[in-house]
């Protein structure tokens, strides 16, 4: 490799002395490397030209090929020697990902310049033992103990029914939770959350519920904003729309069905990247639109 570098420098610069200065070796070392290379190849690569050297036809062809090879070696070496950014894979509840994390993602990236952040909006649960994720942000009724996994409650927001202002005006007679059974209800993946909420709100007889199932909370909230019915929301997901008047609460309530949790491997809990992410999330959920007030 040293002989190839010496020949490439001489061929490019046209001078043994200039090549030696570039490579930080004496010109005699450069000459010896070139002579050894010519002997090994059995071909003349350089010829005298005035006060310098010029490439022979064989030397021109050889230089063109090894020049590309040396460029590849240099790039590969630079990639390996450069500081490598570590991936931080975050599995996140879709509504939180789109409405809370994504708008402020540049802020998080600035706090973690040594990490490449991967944000996956999903309701699936990662297997930390298989390194599927570094952290998880999920809404749970309770965080059940899992071997090797640690959890922290970020927020337990109030859950309440919301609709557009126009929808509320059309249904002005809705004054109590039981009255909601007379208007279109919008569900997530099932009717179970509405059933739980209505029971907690004191509705004794909850019939079989109907209405569209949109799987994700943020989609149900968006449908409510479009005037399609009433969805269950919280301030984490709907705080900005409530403040802007795009959504209104249908009835007064003070019901909590669960909370947003941060989970990661217990053994990695205090790693700097995860600790920074956790601190950032605490601040995010503590804002007026994130604390469920």
Phi and psi dihedrals of 157, rounded to 5?
-75, 155
pLDDT digits (tens, 9 = 90+) for 163-188: 999 999 999 999 999 999 999 999 99
In a domain, 17, yes or no: yes
In a domain, 63, yes or no: yes
17 and 95 co-located in one domain: no
| Bridge partners, 213 (sequence order) | 187
Return the SS3 of 61: helix
- The whole-model pTM stands at 0.69
Q: How many domains does the chain have?
A: 3
In a domain, 291, yes or no: no
168 and 237 co-located in one domain: yes
In a domain, 293, yes or no: no
Per-residue pLDDT of the chain (293 residues; tens, 9 = 90+): 788 888 888 888 888 888 888 888 888 888 999 899 899 889 999 888 887 888 999 989 988 888 888 878 877 776 676 555 689 999 999 999 999 999 999 999 999 999 999 999 998 999 998 889 999 999 999 988 888 999 999 999 999 999 999 999 999 999 999 999 999 999 998 999 999 999 999 999 999 999 999 988 999 999 999 999 999 999 999 999 999 999 999 999 999 999 999 999 999 999 999 999 999 999 999 975 544 33
End of a domain among 80, 107, 135? Answer: 80
Instruction: Please tell me the distance from the alpha carbon of residue 182 to that of residue 174, in angstroms, as a whole number.
Output: 8
In a domain, 192, yes or no: yes
Tell me the CA distances in angstroms from 206 to 141, 182, 228, 249, 283, one per residue in order: 20, 12, 21, 21, 38
And the tokens for 78?
């630079």
Among 91, 136, 101, 135, CA closest to 287: 101
188 and 221 co-located in one domain: yes
As a dihedral over the C-alpha atoms of residue 267, residue 272, residue 276, residue 281, rounded to 10 degrees, the angle is -10
Mean pLDDT of the chain: 91
Q: ∠ CA(228), CA(189), CA(131), 5° rounding?
A: 135
pLDDT digits (tens, 9 = 90+) for 278-292: 999 999 999 755 443
Give the domain extent around 209: 158-256
CATH code of the domain containing 121: 3.40.190.10
142 and 173 co-located in one domain: no
And the tokens for 92?
């996140």
171 and 232 co-located in one domain: yes
End of a domain among 80, 103, 120? Answer: 80
CATH code of the domain containing 55: 1.10.10.10
CA atoms within 13 A on the CB side of 35: 7
């Amino acid at each position: 490799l040293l002989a190839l570098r010496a020949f490439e420098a001489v061929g490019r610069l046209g001078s043994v002395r200039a090549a030696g200065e570039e490579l930080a070796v004496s010109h005699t070392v450069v000459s010896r490397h070139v002579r050894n290379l010519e002997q090994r190849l059995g071909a003349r690569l350089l010829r005298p030209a005035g006060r310098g050297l010029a490439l022979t036809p064989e030397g021109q062809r050889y230089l063109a090929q090894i020049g590309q090879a040396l460029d590849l070696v240099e790039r590969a070496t630079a990639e390996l020697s450069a500081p490598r950014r570590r991936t931080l894979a975050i599995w996140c509840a879709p509504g939180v990902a789109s409405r809370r994390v994504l708008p402020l993602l540049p802020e998080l990236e600035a706090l973690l310049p040594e990490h490449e952040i991967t944000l996956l909006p999903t309701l699936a649960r990662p297997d930390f033992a298989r390194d599927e994720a570094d952290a998880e942000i999920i809404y749970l009724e309770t965080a059940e103990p899992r071997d090797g996994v640690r959890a922290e409650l970020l927020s337990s927001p109030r859950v309440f029914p919301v609709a557009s202002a126009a929808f509320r005006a059309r249904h002005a007679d809705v004054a109590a939770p039981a009255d909601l059974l007379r208007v279109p209800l919008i569900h997530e993946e099932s009717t179970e959350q509405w059933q739980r909420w209505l029971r907690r709100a004191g509705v004794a007889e909850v019939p079989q519920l109907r209405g569209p199932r949109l799987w994700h909370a943020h989609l149900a909230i968006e449908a409510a904003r479009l005037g399609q019915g009433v969805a269950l929301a919280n301030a984490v997901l709907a705080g900005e729309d409530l403040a802007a008047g795009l959504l209104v609460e249908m009835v007064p309530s003070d019901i909590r069905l669960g909370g947003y949790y941060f989970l990661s491997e217990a053994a990695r809990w205090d790693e700097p990247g995860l600790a920074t992410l956790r601190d950032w999330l605490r601040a995010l959920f503590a804002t007026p639109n994130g604390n469920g007030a």
